Structure 1
Amino acid sequence: MPSADSPAVFVVSPDRTQAAQLAPALRQADVLPIPDAETLLREAHVRPPAVVLLYADTPGVPLAEVLPLLRQRAELAGTHWLAVGTHGLGALLAAGADALISDATTVDALALQVETLLNRSARYNEVQTRLNAMQRRLDDWEHEERVRDQLVHMLVHDLKNPIAAVMGLLEVVEDDDRVPDDSRELVRVARDETQHLLHLAVNMLDVRKIQAGKMNLRPELVFSPMFEEVIEQARGDVGSGLRDRHVKVEVAPNLSPSRADPEILRRVLANLISNAMKHTVAGGLIRVRVWQEEDATHVQVQDDGEGIPEDDIPNLFAAFEQSRLTLHGRFDTGMGLAFCKLAVEEHGGQIWVESTRGEGATFTFTLPLTQDGEDDDFVELLS
């Protein structure tokens, strides 16, 4: 006897013996007689069937008119429709029947056809169950992502103002002539570390924005003088730690314009220069170069510091993946380099690193040159 969980097979026919004859051959299913189209519409809503046999000679409302309505119901998406008869099968096929079979077919052959459709329906239900489970996991993940984004957003915005206030107060104290030189050095270190904390918080927020596709770039035409200006601003963002480093800037003259967001470009350079500073000692050399090759602008930040262990390079641009101690004992989350990678790729460029342990590291990224139409805008800007 079929259980309550057994798939339902509807036999739509004025002759109830059709269902009675088929039931013994389909012991795994619950075979139910349906006398007409109106009853089919009602019962299919109460208990969605796995297979429906549509006898073409069923009187009343034509089944070919009802079938398109039934196929539109979401709960009947896994139902298979078998048209049975000699005449009128073409109309049922055009209306959406999955298969045709003659009413002269033996009960065993008919049962075999129904079993094939039952297996298809079972596989469909299995796939739907897996898809629904995956959709629930995806919904849970999206919810967690939204909560995480909201948390990061609140955290960063709650931190930015007090951190900026602390930096301002430290600058006032550092410039006060009454502060002894040894204390002024401590204040300077505190200000640099506070600035590092501010950069970390802002990078964290921007990484989340880019990953969520919410970082709206404001690109402009960037040429040689603007590259020099942006590099100078980035050096200022890094802070006083650069005072005991030698920074050499080389920007090729008369560069063809690239299209980039100057503020984001400034942030990328500040992160790369800050990274170079953290991995060099006092008196070390940091070299910033900008030049062009083929169809791209190359921007490079090179240092002569400790270099990067070979095992660290594959995960270097992944947030929280490169955590390790620098020469100065600062624990690095890698969020700055993660931001650089995402920001450069958002511009349509690429970023990579070359390093030998003990011989420094070279970070290079590219920016695409402007297209022909954008060059015309550049000419108009200069004229």
Structure 2
Amino acid sequence: MNLLRYLCFFPSFTFGLSAAEIFPYALLYGIVTTRRAKLELILFVLCLFLSALYANLITEGGSITREMIRSMMAYLNPLVIFAVVLRLPDREYEKLLVVARHVFIALCIVMVMQWSSLFGFLDSLIKAFVPRGSATPLGFRGVTLLATEPARAGIEFIFLYLIARSFWISKNRISISDLLVGFSILTIFKSASTLFIFGIFLTMFNPRLLLWGIPVAMYGIVQNLDVLSGRAFTLIGDLIALPLEDSLFLIINTSGNRVISIFAAIQYGFEYPFGGGIGNWQETSVEALFLTGYDYTQLNYFNAEWKEGALHFRASGYMMNLMMDMGIVGTSLATLTILALTRKFRTQSRAKRMVFYFFLLNIFFVGSVGTPVAWIATALLLRSTTNPLAHAEECVPQDLAKTQPVGTL
């Protein structure tokens, strides 16, 4: 059981046994530990099955059964464990929180090892666990930790850091630790998506650092662009040099399929309120792309994909994938389900509401659909008997809880 707790934080550990990039350890954990499910969750899971049935019926010969199952697992993997962690018994909650601490420390060590490029001999070992992983930085792209790409690794790291920041980092070291994390995102992860999320993170949780930190950081970057490397640095330099219209195109083009997929998903979800059905994403993503009317041949991502004979894509963010699969109706139901599951926790303090809003931003617009780490971290923070970030009141105004943290960590 303890092994399963750890595996929940390493969904990319497929051991090469599956073509999927994420294994549903979190779903297994949820099934094993749950005692009862809330009615809202049961109803939404039923809607998922109905959408999958609809996709199967409208597809000739029911040829999407395999994709339907994979998509269902991707949606259920984070959602089920999110609901379960919010209702865990105290003892199991404490165990999972200890695991989160160990995982964060381990990832910090792995990050330094990969950044140093001194442990390339471990590459085959990492690939045995994560086929798309690497023991060294991916050149211009940065480190992947124990995930499949730098962007996903960086976002998961930020959510685990939010737990560490909330429970184990003293208030007089908050700004220093935030600076260190920001530095690692710029120089180690080198991911523009992660940098964007961290900018939102600072806006919500440490605005004072943001106010003086950004000007200082921008000055340093501009003065040293000729020696700095990485996608985030390159993007910042280009955005500074280009006019507004060209800058917007650059953001769309350098984001891969992320930005255009958000536009496409929103338009498709409103055009088809019930979506194209779960499992039918290969068809609906192409239709959604055409609906935007954007000349996708200008984008490097689709030029590369077209050469490989594939144009379909997964949208950026859990909810944007739902917009394509279940339309605005299904996405609204998912949002209402999450609001219902977290209602009593969100109302406990302003700090918990901030954590929840940060989480919503992530699942709507950023990240892979099936990865559960951000969901687990958010549930652990909301489930806490103390206000997250309560010891960091000097950085951001918030209500203070009168209760103490669960356990001694």
Is the shorter-chain TM-score for this pair beyond 0.5, marking a shared fold?
Answer: no
Higher RCO, Cα 8 Å, sep 6+? 2
Give the structure-1-normalised TM-score: 0.26
Q: More strand by proportion, 1 or 2? A: 1
Give the structure-2-normalised TM-score: 0.24
